[in-house]
Amino acid sequence: MSSLAVNDQPAATATSTKVIQPAWVRILHWTNAVAMVLMIMSGWQIYNASPLFGFTFSKSITLGGWLGGALLWHFAAMWLLMVNGTVYLILGLATGRFRKKLLPITPEGVIADTRAALTGKLSHADLTKYNYVQKLLYAGIIVVGILIVLSGLAIWKPVQLQYLTALFGGYEAARYVHFFCMAAIVAFMVVHVALALLVPKSLRAMIIGR
Amino acid sequence: MGRLRSLLIPGVDKQLLVRDATRVMPDLARRRFIAGGASLGALTLLTGCDVSDSFSAESMLTRISKFNDAVQAAMFNPNTLAPTFPESAITKPFPFNAYYALDDAPTIDGKEWKLEVRGLVDNKKSWTLEELYQLPQVKQVTRHICVEGWSAIGSWTGTPLRDFLKIIGADTRAKYCWFQCADVDGYNSPLDMASALHPQTQMTFKFGDEILPRAYGFPMKIRVPTKLGFKNPKYVVSMEVTNDYKGGFWEDQGYNSFSGS
């Protein structure tokens, strides 16, 4: 009996160390991906109704067909984004994943890993550990995600949530914050998707966990 | 032929089906959002769902929008005032905005015009502009926020709607004040009673201390600083106090009906 138990243990640890992305992370990640794409594409259509800058987004990459349709998508997908994001924050904090995976972030580490990445010397041998550039970007995008939701609420409810709107410097300033958060997320997504395709086993880990 | 037959649904008359489908199809001009939402709808078609399911993306979005109406009504605090601004903050020139050019804005003779009052009110008498001008007025400098995203600060002066509702003996337990306007194509918009009774909701007769110009809704607009601009009807000709949701010009096309700020 006891020998059986002893034999079982190494096998169990072997499978558990193989899991790089636990199921809850994978589910929340892909739900977030869908919500983000819906929010961004409908957001571009909403932007086109009253552009902040001298350009509009091509209709071929927007969602909703016109302002009214885009608003329906935006205010539907916001629930998916907010509920999913809130669960992610709670589980990330409660399971200690944020602390274990994203901290500490040191300037020296970020500089060294950036240099290593640019000279092609960054190792991807152990996908369970993030390098300092990943830590900074993943922690940073969580902050941007929180900011885009808060600035969105500030634009949506500048009377009922007027203190939040004031925190962003007023209604008009909150629109710019919301826009630049979107720009940061799109920039992140471009790099994120490109790197995931360059290191396919990281993409596999986010799909099947190992 | 074999392939064609597989497209038919057994036991369903094709012509009847097409006729029914056309009937449930929304008016294209008023439901333009389907163009963008069609991809999901088309997906459900491909999976072989029946005809009524093909608009599921649209009906899902409409249902969520109704849910959002309820969420916003719950978030609405009748005592929360829209922020006010100093006169120096007023946007000049204040933009003219409508679904038509300024040239097509209604030209109303103030001497002929009357505000018609209907529905759940004790006194259904119509009001002349002269009579309305006798009522006490207050001024507000607030931010007008358009559904398109832009905003502008303006100065509006008029009678709080809740005072007028009291004068005419309106049943304030009713759900809506429904406004009808003189705009081309007949603008109208429902206002939920809680918002109608908000202290800053106003029957506006002046803009920037001057009689409301034609561009901004002469002779009367309803200023609701807790709502998006399209819920602030101009060129108002009648008000109905009602429990029925009667729809609105933009609301029927897909803009969220509560659209609170």
Tell me the average pLDDT across A4-30. 68
Q: Give yes or no for B26 touching A (CB within 8 A).
A: no
Instruction: Identify all chain A residues contacting B149, using CB atoms and an 8 Å cutoff.
Output: 46-47, 49-50, 155, 175
Which tokens is A48 given?
A: 């086109």
A45 touching B (Cβ < 8 Å)? yes
Each residue of A151-194: pLDDT tens digit? 999 999 999 999 999 999 999 999 999 999 999 999 999 999 99
Mean of the per-residue pLDDT values of chain B: 87
Cα-only R_g, chain A:
21
DSSP element (H, E) containing A101 = helix A97-102
Picking from B61, B77, B255, the nearest residue to A73 by CB comes out as B61
Check CB contact of A50 with chain B, cutoff 8 Å: yes
Does the distance separating the beta carbons of A171 and B64 come in below 8 Å? no
Per-residue pLDDT at B31 exceeds 80: no
Per-residue pLDDT at B257 exceeds 90:
yes
Domain boundaries, chain A: 2-208
Work out the angle between the directed axes of helices A132-156 and A107-118 (0-180°, nearest 10): 110
Q: Choose the mutation target among B61, B250, B255, B259 for the interface with A, i.e. most A CBs under 10 Å.
A: B61
Residue A183's contacts (CB-CB under 8 Å, 6 or more residues apart) are none
List the one residue out of A16, A1, A27, A5 whose CA is nearest residue A208.
A27
Model pLDDT, residue A13: 45
Domains present along chain B, CATH in parentheses:
2-75 (no CATH), 87-253 (3.90.420.10)
- Whether the predicted pLDDT of B21 surpasses 90: no
pLDDT at A50 > cutoff 50: yes
User: According to the model, what pLDDT value does residue B24 have?
Assistant: 53
Secondary structure in 3-state letters for A131-183: CHHHHHHHHHHHHHHHHHHHHHHHHHCCCCCHHHHHHCCCHHHHHHHHHHHHH
Phi-psi map region of B232: left, alpha, beta (phi>0 left; psi -120 to 50 alpha): beta
Signed CA dihedral, B153, B159, B163, B166: sign only: negative
Between A84 and B31, name the one with better pLDDT.
Answer: A84
> What CATH code would you report for A2-208?
1.20.950.20
Return the pLDDT at B141.
Answer: 98
- pLDDT tier for residue B116 given thresholds of 50, 70 and 90: very high
> Does position B10 have pLDDT exceeding 60, yes or no?
no
Residue B185: predicted pLDDT: 87
If one compares A97 and B29, the residue with the highest pLDDT of the two is A97
